[in-house]
Structure 1
Amino acid sequence: MTSTSEGELPVARCVLPGCGNAAEEQGLPCGECAAAFGAHLRQTDGPPMTAEVQAKRDSETHATYAVLLAGGNPAAVPAAGGSAAAPSTTVGQPERKANQRCWMCEQRRTCTRQAHGWECDRCLEIR
């Protein structure tokens, strides 16, 4: 929500991430986003997103982007009110992660991070 002077009602922001336009009602897209996305938008069955939930979502996203820009691991960003995720590697061990696309065979497997990209165990043996 945008801060306002005393006596004024707070301005609702567009619910779509990355858009800072004012919306007619909290939890709904602004007119510009509604026109741009048209039929691709649909109302969920639940209640509209509250300003507090929207602010929490946006702050978590901004924190993750900051970590990515700094070259860090976005999985280590703590959720609001939570603690950071456990590191996926031990000290001195290369990072391994499931469901990564190997840069050599282009298959999705558990891979090890290499200087040139993710590499599966099969392709590591071939090298």
Structure 2
Amino acid sequence: MLHEQMTLSVGATIRSPYGDRYVIEGHLGKGGFGAVYLVRDRHDRQHLFALKEVLDPNKRERERFIFEGEILKRLDHRALPHVYKVFAQDKSRRMYMLMDHIQGTNLETLRNGQPGKRFS
């Protein structure tokens, strides 16, 4: 389970191996394996992104996360966020996926508003 001290604070900076630096503007959600942050690229301050984080993945989880990111980078559909990068921070044992931030209600909230908390 994700421990509170493992989540990053608003204002913290995440560095990618590409030289990018993302500043955490807020928290979008968290689960047992990591969190999703609202971030801003320090070089392009106009755009907000979602940054999915996986904490301490084992080899299989790491491979699946990279595979998921590579597949999503190739998809182009208005209902899906564009995925830009997948990268790891080996020292902190964290992996990240940078994608478009789509404003609106998340699926869990929509599902909970349905009869029986189901879509069908």
Higher helix share: 1
Q: Which has the larger radius of gyration?
A: 1
With a CA cutoff of 8 Å and minimum separation of 6, indicate the structure with the bigger relative contact order.
2
TM-score scaled by structure 2? 0.30
Higher strand share: 2
TM-score scaled by structure 1? 0.29
